[in-house]
Amino acid sequence: MPEDFIIGAKLGALVERMVASYRCDARTQHIDRVYLPNRGEIIQLVRDLLELLYPGFIGRQHLTQHNVAFHVGDLLPRIGEAAFRQIYLCQCYADEDAKSNHPSSAERPSEQRARELTLSFLENLPAIREILATDVQAAFDGDPAALNCDEVILAYPGLLAISVQRLAHALYQRGVPLMPRIMSEWVHSQTGIDIHPGAKIGRSFFIDHGTGVVIGETAEIGANVKVYQGVTLGALSIPKDERGRVIRATKRHPTVRDNVTIYANAIILGGETVIGEGSTIGGSVFVTSSVPPNSVVSFTPPELRLKTKGGTDGRAVSTPETVATRRTARPNTDDAEIMPDYSI
């Protein structure tokens, strides 16, 4: 075995170089400041909240009608204490950050305000649980491979992502800084699904498969919407002021009305883009303008060429999808799924 590694005489110089790098760039250090939320505690809070939302599935098992009230009575105070502590730290962090740029700004937020926000958040949890039940049902109804609702809760990354997003959104709505984003980025790392806590999402929302889904901060999604993997609801461009600084308080992301299905890898961009109620957005399309209600949006598939291995000549093949998208007549009920009403 090799001997222990020892920096030796170079330690002092290396320390000086590292500390000098801290002084040179304040963007990547948190020194001479007091307040900062604890990322690890926030992640544990998310896990405890999920245990509260899905009793018997996450965390403690073997719950009964006789002991579930004791379980909730034990869990809620722990959640409340952790949430209050982190909400207060987030408020103080934001105030401290503001004072570094504006020394005359108001004093540190009061603990009473943090208590009020925490209690408001906790009182909202039954309503969040009620809407999550519609998400569970939407996943089961929308995926023929689902065994039952239990499997959706235990295994589906889309449900985990929307569960945490709905919790984070409740904090975002209450003006809590930083904490909602820590929550949503943690679940992003767990699922590959990136939903900003500011996005407004209606009931019965289902993300099928999920990997690569991106939903931006100002996106608005109605009820009974289903999206597949790789879908992006993004910004068309980032507006800037006359000094070239990003204007943040603008509607940058699309609006999706009720009863819309968006298939894999579709990209929908722009704050003025509205996908009309009842529409279907085909896979891999790129949409930057509004779509009327009850439309089917698709693109003409590329022409396929087939040739024998080792041969030199190929022949074009018209697939059923290619033929369908070349028709111009309005589709009847039987081929509505492959016929576009609204081509791009």
pLDDT value of residue 309: 87
How far apart CA 157 and CA 210 sit, in angstroms, is 7
Average pLDDT over residues 49-70: 97
Q: In what order do the strands lie in the sheet with 200-201?
A: 200-201, 220-221, 255-256, 274-275
Whether residue 291 has pLDDT greater than 90: yes
How far apart CA 213 and CA 198 sit, in angstroms, is 15
pLDDT value of residue 45: 98
Whether residue 105 has pLDDT greater than 70: no
pLDDT value of residue 318: 60
pLDDT value of residue 131: 98
pLDDT value of residue 19: 96
Average pLDDT over residues 265-273: 97
Whether residue 255 has pLDDT greater than 50: yes
- Output 150 or 108, whichever has higher pLDDT: 150
- Could you report how far apart the first and last alpha carbons of the chain are, in Å? 65
How many other β-carbons are positioned within 10 Å of the β-carbon of residue 135? 23
- Output 128 or 33, whichever has higher pLDDT: 128
Residue with tokens 């000086």: 16
pLDDT value of residue 325: 45
Whether residue 330 has pLDDT greater than 50: no
pLDDT in tens, 134-191: 999 999 999 999 999 999 999 999 999 999 999 999 999 999 999 999 999 999 999 9
- Output 139 or 236, whichever has higher pLDDT: 139
Residue with tokens 């279907």: 280
How far apart CA 42 and CA 46 sit, in angstroms, is 6
How far apart CA 220 and CA 202 sit, in angstroms, is 8
Average pLDDT over residues 276-292: 97
Q: Is the pTM of this model over 0.85?
A: yes
Structural domains present in the chain: 30-198 (1.10.3130.10), 200-344 (2.160.10.10)
Average pLDDT taken over every residue of the chain: 90
